[in-house]
Amino acid sequence: MRPVLVLTHAPSEGPGLIGPALDAPLRVRTVVDVADPLLPDPDEVAGIVVMGGWMDADDDLHHPGLAAERALLARAVAQDVPVLGVCLGAQLLAMALGGRLLRRHGTEVGFGPVDVVADDLVLGPLGARPTVLHWHADAVELPPDATLLASTEVTPVQAFRRGSALGVQFHLELEPAMLDLWLQTPEMVAGLDDDEIATIREDGRTHLPALVPAARKVVEVFAEQVRLRG
């Protein structure tokens, strides 16, 4: 079986529960600051997963590898390769498909519901109004010919589908240990006060027991698409 390419952008924002749930060989790469990275051709991989990060999805000046990632994602969708983009990964995917990044559109940090507005085979296990973890200030416009899947008042495009690709602005990968790491990482909690951090920690204890199994089911459906590509 061909490997799944996992693109990461920050040490604290790895694939989390996505990796084990894929049950496939993984090729994890971090190329965000590489001007001309060597990335595989879409034909060489069974799927692509793009994780989060603290940088802006259009900041090619300071993080030149982002342009190569977007180009790869555009080719992958054109070749019907299964793609899953999470947070920054969803923003890169949207831009690759012709959507526009909206810098500082609205801050959402912490647990809160999203409204699922359309059916999707992969996203379906989350249910109609799941409580998920948000951690972003940027947003995207819906790419041309994409289907809006989930929304909040602050961020109208919380999830979208175009062809073989699913983008989710919220975090599906979180397990309790990863949340603990984030809440101890200065870059992640910059701008949050002690009470806000405590609230996120407590909300994690409340919501992750239901969210983690549902997220695993989401990734398992994505993994089946990856296996079919082989």
pLDDT score of 175: 94
pLDDT in tens, 58-95: 999 999 999 999 999 999 999 999 999 999 999 999 99
Amino acid at 194: D
Q: Which of 9, 134, 171, 207 is catalytic?
A: 171
Contacts (Cβ under 8 Å, ≥6 apart) of 178? 12, 14, 16
CA–CA separation, 64 vs 60, rounded Å? 4
pLDDT at res. 230:
76
Query: Is 187 known to be catalytic?
Result: no
153 is a catalytic site residue? no
**Which listed residue (13, 87, 108, 134) is catalytic?**
87
What average pLDDT is seen over the chain?
96
Using CA atoms, how far apart are residues 27 and 50, in angstroms rounded to an integer?
12
Q: Which two tokens stand for residue 30?
A: 């971090």
Give the β-pairing of 108-113 and 115-116.
unpaired
Q: What is the pTM of this model?
A: 0.96
pLDDT at 35 over 80: yes
Structure tokens at 34: 């590489």
Give the pLDDT confidence score for residue 41 in this predicted structure: 95
Q: Is 87 a catalytic residue?
A: yes
Enumerate domains of the chain plus CATH numbers: 4-229 (3.40.50.880)
Question: For the residues 136-153, what does the mean pLDDT come to?
Answer: 97
Cβ-Cβ contacts under 8 Å for 188 (sequence gap 6 or more)? 12, 54, 135, 182
For residues 15 and 33, what is the distance between their CA atoms, to the nearest angstrom? 19
